Amino acid sequence: MPSQRLSPDVIDLPKGWVPALMRGLRGRCPRCGEAALFRAWLKPVDRCPHCKQDWSVQQADDFPAYIGIFVVGHLLAPVVIAMIGTFGMSAWLTLAIILPVAVVMLLVMLQQTKGGVIGFLWWHGIGAFKQERRAPEDKP
């Protein structure tokens, strides 16, 4: 059956959750690393064209956005404090500068964050994902 997933014997499964997450961060399929994970900005492919992994079952939901808000907030908080405290800028001017910067930063990192979350969920078999591991390597 052509839609059947390729066996873990013939594809290069990641060695751990960090490589799986990194493949997702780069927008590659976390399972095989060979094909694109997204068909549109935040739309994952239904099925990996290379290893046939079903990505339609992913449940990243709002978690990538929460991660983005957390990271951008922590990166920009010291900037806001410096703009108001050190440089004496008004709160309105600070808001006028920081708000567009924060939105752009969030939009830029959202796809990578979603890819990383999908890779993490897949590696740990969370939701509808089935956990897979590499076969133990033979030691000489």
Residues in touch with Zn ion (CB under 5 A) = 29, 31-32, 48, 50-51, 53
- Please identify, using beta-carbon distances, which residue of 20 and 29 lies nearer to Zn ion: 29
Retrieve residue 6's tokens. 């390729």
Beta carbon of residue 18, minimum distance to Zn ion (angstroms, whole number): 18
Backbone φ and ψ for 46, nearest 5 degrees, come out as -70, -35
- Please identify, using beta-carbon distances, which residue of 31 and 114 lies nearer to Zn ion: 31
Q: Provide DSSP, 40-61.
A: SSS-B-SB-TTT--B-TT---T
Beta carbon of residue 33, minimum distance to Zn ion (angstroms, whole number): 7
Beta carbon of residue 26, minimum distance to Zn ion (angstroms, whole number): 13
* CA separation for the pair 127, 117 (Å, rounded): 12
Beta carbon of residue 62, minimum distance to Zn ion (angstroms, whole number): 25
* CA separation for the pair 60, 112 (Å, rounded): 12
- Please identify, using beta-carbon distances, which residue of 29 and 102 lies nearer to Zn ion: 29
In a 10 Å sphere around its CB, with 0-12 CB exposed, 13-18 middle and 19+ buried, how is residue 31 labelled?
A: buried
- Please identify, using beta-carbon distances, which residue of 6 and 89 lies nearer to Zn ion: 6
**Cβ atoms < 10 Å from Cβ of 6:** 15
Beta carbon of residue 55, minimum distance to Zn ion (angstroms, whole number): 9
* CA separation for the pair 115, 12 (Å, rounded): 18
- Please identify, using beta-carbon distances, which residue of 51 and 72 lies nearer to Zn ion: 51
